[in-house]
Amino acid sequence: MFEADDAKTTLNRRQLLRGQFHQQPLLIRPPWARPEDEFVQLCTRCDACIKACWDEILTRGSGGFPEIRFHSSGCDFCGDCLKACDTGALNAPVPAPSLAWRHRASIESSCLSLNGIVCRSCGDACDTEAISFKLQTRGRATPLLDTERCNGCGECFAVCPNDSISLAIPEAN
């Protein structure tokens, strides 16, 4: 049986080189995962999706079930995990990759830019241009996050040097 702490042993090489591990309290299954109760029934913990993920953001989590960890990069929705899974655990029908999961990013008050330190890392990393900056006085710039454009890819979470991005499922979502 898989131990809960085993996820820590699967830190990939990029994580180790980077020497850090962002805290990610929200449990996130692979994209296109069925609702949680169905997912844990269907998933055989075969690791096929984990092996298929070239971004190396999938890892064995609690109970041996796959979880996303946006430690070193985000998800590009390539669909390789989906193709690798033959149990139906990952075949939730969604009309667009942006709906492959429900969580979205948000920016916390600790953001460097909000506190007068020049940083645009999250905006530079966001492919959907969901993050923009509104210039303020004294070198500050307020990051603005468009949740309609955000697809939850996690890239901003991975690159933020200050752990100022959080991921959560919006209440109305």
Question: CA angle at residue 150 from 144 to 153, to 5 degrees?
Answer: 120
82 binds ligand SF4, rule: CB under 6 A: no
Beta strands in 23-157 (DSSP E): 58-60, 66-68, 104-107, 131-135, 141-145
Q: Which of 24, 55, 68, 74 binds ligand SF4 (CB under 6 A)?
A: 74
57 binds ligand SF4, rule: CB under 6 A: no
Q: Which of 28, 48, 53, 57 binds ligand SF4 (CB under 6 A)?
A: 48
Buried b / exposed e along 43-61 (16+ C-beta atoms within 10 A): beeeebbbebbebbbbbbb
90 binds ligand SF4, rule: CB under 6 A: yes
For the chain, the straight-line distance linking the first and the last C-alpha, in angstroms and rounded, comes to 35
- Of the candidates 24, 65, 76, which has an alpha carbon nearest to the alpha carbon of residue 43? 65
Binding mask 116-155 for ligand SF4 (x = CB under 6 A): ---xxxx--xx-x-xx-----------x-x----xxxxxx
Stretch that binds ligand SF4, among 6-14, 20-28, 160-168 (CB under 6 A): 160-168
28 binds ligand SF4, rule: CB under 6 A: no
The footprint of ligand SF4 on this chain (CB under 6 A) covers a number of residues equal to 42
Q: In angstroms, rounded to a whole number, what is the distance separating the alpha carbons of residues 9 and 142?
A: 37
Helix (H, G, I), strand (E, B) or coil at 87: coil
Which residues contribute to the site for ligand SF4 (CB under 6 A)?
Answer: 30, 43-49, 66, 74, 84-85, 87, 89-90, 105, 107, 111-113, 119-122, 125-126, 128, 130-131, 143, 145, 150-156, 160, 162, 164-165
